[in-house]
Amino acid sequence: MSAAHHNSPQVHRRLSPSLVAGSLMVSLTVIVGILATFWTPYPKNATGSGGRLEPPSSRFWLGTDKLGRDLFSQFLSGAHSAIIVAISTVLIAATLGLLLGILAAATKQWLDTGISKFVDILIAFPTLLLAMLVVTVRGASLSSAILAIGIAGSAVIARVTRINVARVLREDYVRAARTSGTRWLGIMAQHVLPNIFPMLLVQLMLLAGSAILAEASLSYLGLGAPPPAASWGRMLQEAQSTVSLTPVAALAPGLAIAWTVLGLNLMGDGIRDYTDPTLRGE
């Protein structure tokens, strides 16, 4: 029964324009980030690469900042940091969120109530405030920002996971599996996780976009990774005082953040459209 549930025909369904566009947009950021791992025109924080506040040119594609650092090198490295933030945050949030959500849905009522209350408190807790607490304990760093954003994001994943796991556990084919003697881990692996995976993937795409935006905000406030680590958010903060002289220093990281977050949101919307049960069998 579960096989029919999982393997509804999708071969004739077309990928949505949102999924295609979002995938292309995110792929460009990933390519840029991978490139920065191996090559940048100049060391990203090397002062004196050029003159101070030089305009864009064939030598410095985005110009230089007030310390003479090449902005294009910082821009490339910022993409690398954004990818690390997105992936690491998603891994933390998925691990904690899945664990809490499954425990809440599949265990006793008192534990469900306790976990649900904890998740509600975590959702109500502002990410920036949580980040400040983490930074106070661990110091300002990229790992501190990732940890804070991942913990905050895990609450949403836990809530959505709990709702969907509880729904799947009420299905007839799960009851039949229990009656036939399938163990709890087997039910989770064979029936629950495959059914909640599309929903989970959508949420994780949206979370990755939110994580990049949150890390940029933290770096802008000085709570992110300190130099020499690169960040689009810190580029924005450093360009603020010279934006009238070198607007590209603020435009480039700002547009990159918007581009990547929009791409991830479009991917999430596209995956939701593609996996929507109401579209099955088109």
Query: pLDDT tens, 211-222?
Result: 999 999 999 988
pLDDT, average across residues 38-45: 86
* Residue owning tokens 């030598």: 59
What does the pLDDT read at residue 278?
57
Degrees (nearest 5) of the Cα angle 137, 146, 242?
95
Write the pLDDT tens digit of every residue in 194-252.
889 988 999 999 999 999 999 999 999 888 888 778 899 999 999 998 888 889 999 99
Q: Which two tokens stand for residue 253?
A: 């990281």
Task: Tell me phi and psi for residue 71, to 5 degrees.
Answer: -70, -30
Count the Cβ atoms, other than its own, within 10 Å of residue 255. Answer: 12
Count the Cβ atoms, other than its own, within 10 Å of residue 82. Answer: 29
Write the pLDDT tens digit of every residue in 54-70.
888 888 899 888 888 89
Structural domains for the chain: 2-9+22-39+63-279 (1.10.3720.10)
pLDDT, average across residues 134-142: 84
Task: Answer whether residue 48 shows pLDDT above 80.
Answer: no
Q: How far from 66 is each of 50, 75, 123, 229, CA to CA, in Å? A: 10, 15, 40, 18
CA distance 226 to 230: 8
CA distance 2 to 191: 7
Kindly report each contact of residues 61-64 with a partner whose C-beta sits within 8 Å and lies 24 or more positions away, as own/partner.
62/248, 62/249, 62/252, 63/246, 63/248, 63/249
In three-state secondary structure terms, 202 is: helix
22 in Cβ contact with 266 (< 8 Å): yes
Least confident of 152-161, 237-246, 250-259: 237-246
Q: pLDDT-based confidence at 160, cuts 50/70/90?
A: very high
In three-state secondary structure terms, 68 is: coil
